Structure 1
Amino acid sequence: MVVQAFYPAQTTVSVDRKVARNPLLHIASNVRRNIKIKNTKDNMKTFLTIILTSFLGLTAFSTAQISDKIIYKGKTYKLHCNPLESYFNKNPDKRPKSEIMSTALWRGYVATFKIKNKQLFLKDIKVMVSGKNSYKKWKSVIKEVFPNQKEIKIDWFTGLLVLPYGKRINYVHMGYGSTYENYILIELDNGNFNKEKKFDYNKYEEFKEKQFQAFKKTDEYNKIKKEIQKETDSDEFIDTFLKDFVINYTTKILTDE
């Protein structure tokens, strides 16, 4: 396999590829084992950055990632989450093999989804392969991953799909950290469409704050916070972490305001 760096090399921290039931806690624990960080404000911010880049992918990476795609209401959007990852974590032998592993694509593939009849379906999976004169091209491997299946419903996915669109407001060279002018948020339950919400950037940030405040009232918040406190006793850090990435670990829209 060729590892292709499409961006300048960055320092990364290795974490276990296996995702636990609560990946947020799993990553925090693994990162703590790999690095020594004191509870200063700057170092906690560094810790936060490493955890979040880990949380958004299969391994810790510091390169902006090529996103999956989704066709929704006739338009194609970037998808700032990866619905196939939970399937591949449970079925690692099914994960497609790529001839080229890019630092901008640690998961190794790009999936295209479509919402049809209020259900989430997989349309294609592509990997990078070598062509003539070192030219790189995309190859479909969906039939290798899901042979003899005409329609593949993603019925294992329950959570929120994040569809950014419009002008990119701020580029962040890691994960899906860049921010955009507009967002569509779609709530799914076992692959079935529940609801959508649309935001501009400012409204999206306001929504995340309200989502976090609603999440703080749940038992799950107390459970996660108690576990993270084993890694750090900084309540400010814990709440900053949970608030900034509330969309990634909540599975429902908790506020309609």
Structure 2
Amino acid sequence: MIRLFLFSTLTTLNFHSFATEQIDDIFTIGFKGKTYPIAERPLSQKFDNETIRLILGPDFCTASWRGYKARWQLLDGKLMLNSMQKNPCERKFNPVSSGDFFGTQEYPIHADWFTGKITLMVGEESYRYENGVQIGYDQDVFVFNFQNGKLISKGMEELKYRYKKRFLEPKDEH
């Protein structure tokens, strides 16, 4: 019984390690600025996954369930969509026409639908432990806050990420 419990616990705690890391979008600051990978998906505020799949077709890979990679840029205080690449796992660059999503608009497109933040991981991860067990990490991040695609604030913040506890809890028999 103890072996079954240990196996179940270890399997549950380590399940996330089997997931494929996803290809990030790219964010550039300024005209010829530095580029950063970003985990945020500004396009998802305008189009849901089903709509994106209908437009792009069924080609995707496990490293890009979305089926695309977008390139964003902060330019003159606005978030701009510069380009999109279909199925970024392929060796050849397969551009997505701006017309596929935005009709007659051409790149760059002002992302006036996006309200939220874009976070750049700029600091080292500082892992945190409790009773000898890693519980998460802290990291310095630079955050850009947008409202309707316009930059409203920016600055450094400390991200405090804590892992979710995944323990098997006894069932209440009452």
Give the structure-1-normalised TM-score: 0.45
Deviations 1:159-178 (A, max 9, x none): 111122466789xxxxxxxx
1:115 is the counterpart of 2:71: no
Identity among equivalent positions (%) equals 26
Q: Which of 66, 81, 89 is 2:48 aligned to? A: 89
Separation in structure 2 between the aligned mates of residue 110 and residue 193 of structure 1, nearest angstrom:
22
Q: Secondary structure at the match of 1:88?
A: coil
Displacement, 1:146? 2.5
Counterpart position of 2:101: 145
Q: Secondary structure at the match of 2:36?
A: strand
Separation in structure 1 between the aligned mates of residue 82 and residue 48 of structure 2, nearest angstrom:
20
Q: Secondary structure at the match of 2:104?
A: coil
Separation in structure 2 between the aligned mates of residue 169 and residue 102 of structure 1, nearest angstrom:
32
1:65 is the counterpart of 2:42: no
1:125 is the counterpart of 2:80: no
- Structure with a larger share of its residues in helix: 1
Displacement, 1:102? 1.0
Q: Pairwise mapping of residues 176-215 of structure 1 onto structure 2 (< 5 A)?
A: 182-199=140-157, 203-205=158-160
Separation in structure 2 between the aligned mates of residue 70 and residue 182 of structure 1, nearest angstrom:
18
Separation in structure 2 between the aligned mates of residue 124 and residue 102 of structure 1, nearest angstrom:
19
Unaligned runs of 5+ in 2: 1-8, 128-136, 166-174
Q: Secondary structure at the match of 1:204?
A: strand
Counterpart position of 1:228: none
- Structure with a larger share of its residues in strand: 2
Residues 70, 95 of structure 1: alpha-carbon distance in 2 compared, 3 angstrom cutoff? farther
Root mean square deviation, CA, Å: 4.1
Displacement, 1:95? 5.4
Residue pair 1:163, 1:183 contacting (<8 A) in 2 also: yes
Separation in structure 2 between the aligned mates of residue 168 and residue 66 of structure 1, nearest angstrom:
20
Q: Which of 85, 88, 103 is 2:62 aligned to? A: 103
Residues 189, 129 of structure 1: alpha-carbon distance in 2 compared, 3 angstrom cutoff? closer
Q: Which has the larger radius of gyration?
A: 2
Unaligned runs of 5+ in 1: 1-41, 51-60, 171-178, 210-236, 241-257
* Residue identity matched to 1:136: R
Residue pair 1:161, 1:187 contacting (<8 A) in 2 also: yes
Deviations 1:115-169 (A, max 9, x none): 1111111000101389xxxx72121113332242134111111111112246678
Separation in structure 2 between the aligned mates of residue 93 and residue 67 of structure 1, nearest angstrom:
16
Separation in structure 2 between the aligned mates of residue 79 and residue 116 of structure 1, nearest angstrom:
17
Residue pair 2:69, 2:88 contacting (<8 A) in 1 also: no
Displacement, 1:100? 3.6
* Residue identity matched to 1:146: F
Counterpart position of 1:136: 91
Give the structure-2-normalised TM-score: 0.64
Q: Which of 8, 25, 35 is 1:76 aligned to? A: 35
